[in-house]
Structure 1
C-alpha cells in the first residue's frame, strides 16, 4: 500500500499515512482515521494537504538555492519532453 505525507493546516506538522490510491483525504478526521492518529485538540474539519516527498524529505522549490528549472545541457528542448525539467 502506498505511503503519503500530509501537512495539517492547524499545526503545520507532516504526517505519514498508508492508504489505497483511490482514497482521497481532505481533513483532519479523515487523516486520523487513515493513519490511526490521535486527533488531539485539532478540529475534525481542519484541512490537510498532501505533500510530495522524496527519500523522507519534503521538497519545496522555495528552499532550493536556485528554484528555477536548469536549462538542458544542449540548449534545446529535452528529447520527447521527458527529462524531468
Structure 2
C-alpha cells in the first residue's frame, strides 16, 4: 500500500484443511485446519504445530491445495483458469 495505491486480495475462505497425522498434533485445537490471513500474500504461512509444517513440507501439493481452497482462480485471456 502506498499513498496512491492499495491492493485488495479477496479470499474465498479464511481457512483451509490439510491432511496430517492427528496423533502427532498433540493438544492443538482443530489439527490440520490452517487459518490464513493477509500475511500469506507476503509469503508467510504460520501453522500451529510441527506436524502441520511437516505435512506441508513433505508434500508440496498440500500447499498448492491450500491456495486453491482459499484463493480465487485467475482467468487468462482464453478463459482458462491458471490457479
- Greater helix proportion: 2
TM-score by length of 1: 0.28
TM-score by length of 2: 0.28
- Greater strand proportion: 1
Q: Which entry has the higher C-alpha Rg, 1 or 2?
A: 1
